[in-house]
Structure 1
Amino acid sequence: MKNKTFSRFVAAALLLAAAFAAQAQQVFRITAIPDESPTELARKAEPLAKYLEKKLGTKVEFTPVTDYAAAVEALVNKQVDLAWFGGFTFVQASQRSGGKIVPLVQREEDEKFRSVFITTNPAIRSLADLKGHNFSFGSQSSTSGHLMPRSFLLSAGIDPDRDLKRVAYSGAHDATVAAVASGKVDAGALNISVWEKLVADKKVDPAKVRVFYTTPTYFDYNWSVHADMPAATREKLARAFLELSPGTPEGKEILGLQRATRFLPTKADNYKGIEGAARNAGLLK
């Protein structure tokens, strides 16, 4: 009798453990490249996670990562379900996974994205004037903070590694602005939307730190998933982003935090130009 009771107890415990495991597996995890401070990323993610919870019918959690490479690995290895990538990190993730990363949606703004070059030095008026000066990119894996600025510098006949006095990598767009504003470097390049947000929030004085060059447009950020995600989940997720509207309080808040007018479907072919620029700059093999 005691053995039967013990067996029932063990069976119940195993069922309970299985239930907890199933519940844990139902958490939908999202992450983002750390192109801004951790507090800003968390602030942007919170209302989006709540919105997706309602649309997907499952718990959604934001999982921060330490650097761009970690964001790539997290989605490639299916440790997260959805990742906010720059164009270059998407290309890296696609290559790393053997083409199994799917770009789902992008902001309307990402069809014609740009980078800005900033300085406090009155002698710097053009890209050519950067020669012999200290310069900061963002993260080495950043599209708008490194790859495309480097690409446009090379197109202008300036090799950053040869023609600049020193090249630094700040790790994030807002950190690049801080480095230029404090005089740690003479100039830097960053994402135009982060720059405009910092100016609007009065976190930088454009009379002291000024834009001296704005790049031509290129495709950039997207929300990506792994190709192994069930088609029904992928469709539901895409629809949730496409339905966000500034006409509702919830949509207005989320789109505002994402710096988006609206979200649009995207495809891998949109990032062929980024891949080409990365290969030409020697950043992708």
Structure 2
Amino acid sequence: MIRALTLRALTFWATTFFASAITASALAQQVLRVTTIPEEAATEQVRKFGPLTKYLERTQGMKVEFIPVNDYPAAVEALVNKQVDLVWFGGFTHVQAQIRSGGKIIPIAQREEDTKFRSVFIAQKNSGITKLSDLKGKQFSFGSQSSTSGSLMPRSFLLEAGIDPERDFKRVAYSGAHDATIASVVSGRVDGAALDITVWNKFVADKKVDTSKVDVFFTTPPYFNYNWSVHADMPAAQREKIKAALLALSMDNPEGKEILTLNRATRYIATSPENYKGLETAGRSAGLIK
């Protein structure tokens, strides 16, 4: 009798212990960790993605943490190593993450604007720079070395025009972020630079740059760019639920309008890995992918 009671007690204890462990594990997983490539200052990232974080908490039914990273490679490593669950990548960082992970990164949504994205080249109005060939012998700044719109594609179009930055520029700099790129031209630290067209348009709209002194002298042809990506190990149901929430954002309601406007988007649409093959080709041609 005592032995039977002991066995029942042990069974009850074990069942309770494992149930608690499973519950604790489930609760530990109820946090969606989000980050983004740091294309702008950290304060701007937090401001821009704050409303989206709250929206995802509501639609996903779990806590969402926005975790800023220091540089573009850190965003790549964070998703590859599953330290975060959802990342806003540039097209090139998405490609880098795909290569680093052995093809385990899944793009789930992009802005409609990202299907025909462009970069702009800017210079001071009194610099005499009016076309790409005028940059020869000048000091030039890209953004981050891992930036699609601030490095990879501008470099690709320069090479197409017969201009090798390392050979033809007096100095090549990397600002690290698009807003810093603009500042480097405004201050005269460099003669010309390339950056994301949407960041430039935002600076112009917000009157943060005087276009009578610094303006665009060349706009690139279109290419695919940014996306939201997840790791392939994320459960398919969760991935689809996040994707559905992003695609449901609409300019027709206050919440959607705020989020989309902050993200410089009109709406999100579905995307696929095939859309970024051209960027991988460009990266290899430019020597940025070995």
Q: Same fold (TM over 0.5)?
A: yes
What pairs up with 1:1-285 in 2 under 5 angstroms? 22-120=26-124, 121-285=126-290
Q: Deviations over 1:47-82 (max 9, x none)?
A: 001101111110011011111000000001111110
Q: Greater shift after overlay, 131-140 or 201-210?
A: 201-210
Q: Greater shift after overlay, 26-35 or 16-25?
A: 16-25
TM-score by length of structure 2 reads: 0.92
Q: Which amino acid aligns with 1:27?
A: V
SS at match of 2:127: coil
Measured after TM superposition, the shift of residue 45 of structure 1 is 1.0
Q: Which amino acid aligns with 1:92?
A: Q
User: Which runs of 5 or more structure 1 residues have no equivalent in the other structure?
Assistant: 1-10
Q: Which amino acid aligns with 1:89?
A: T
Match of 1:3 in 2: none
Measured after TM superposition, the shift of residue 164 of structure 1 is 0.1
SS at match of 1:189: strand
Q: Aligned pair count?
A: 279
SS at match of 1:119: strand
Distance in 2, matches of 1:122 and 1:248, equals 45
Q: Structure 1 residues 208 and 49, CA, compared in 2 at 3 Å: closer, same or farther?
A: same
Distance in 2, matches of 1:34 and 1:284, equals 21
Q: Which amino acid aligns with 2:113?
A: E
Distance in 2, matches of 1:271 and 1:18, equals 39
Distance in 2, matches of 1:34 and 1:191, equals 13
Measured after TM superposition, the shift of residue 25 of structure 1 is 2.8
Distance in 2, matches of 1:211 and 1:195, equals 9
Measured after TM superposition, the shift of residue 17 of structure 1 is 8.4
Distance in 1, matches of 2:264 and 2:219, equals 19
User: Which runs of 5 or more structure 2 residues have no equivalent in the other structure?
Assistant: 1-14
2:127/2:191 contact within 8 Å kept: no
Distance in 1, matches of 2:212 and 2:102, equals 47
Measured after TM superposition, the shift of residue 236 of structure 1 is 0.6
Q: CA RMSD in A?
A: 2.0
Q: Greater shift after overlay, 19-28 or 151-160?
A: 19-28
SS at match of 1:273: helix
The structure 1 segments of at least 4 consecutive aligned residues displaced by more than 2 Å after TM superposition are 11-25
Match of 1:8 in 2: none
Q: Deviations over 1:229-259 (max 9, x none)?
A: 1111111111001110000000000000010
Measured after TM superposition, the shift of residue 24 of structure 1 is 3.4
TM-score by length of structure 1 reads: 0.93
Q: Deviations over 1:15-52 (max 9, x none)?
A: 88886664333110010000011011101111001101
Measured after TM superposition, the shift of residue 207 of structure 1 is 1.1
Structure with larger Rg: 2
Distance in 2, matches of 1:252 and 1:219, equals 23
Q: Greater shift after overlay, 19-28 or 128-137?
A: 19-28
Measured after TM superposition, the shift of residue 94 of structure 1 is 0.3
2:141/2:193 contact within 8 Å kept: yes
Measured after TM superposition, the shift of residue 217 of structure 1 is 0.3
SS at match of 2:181: helix
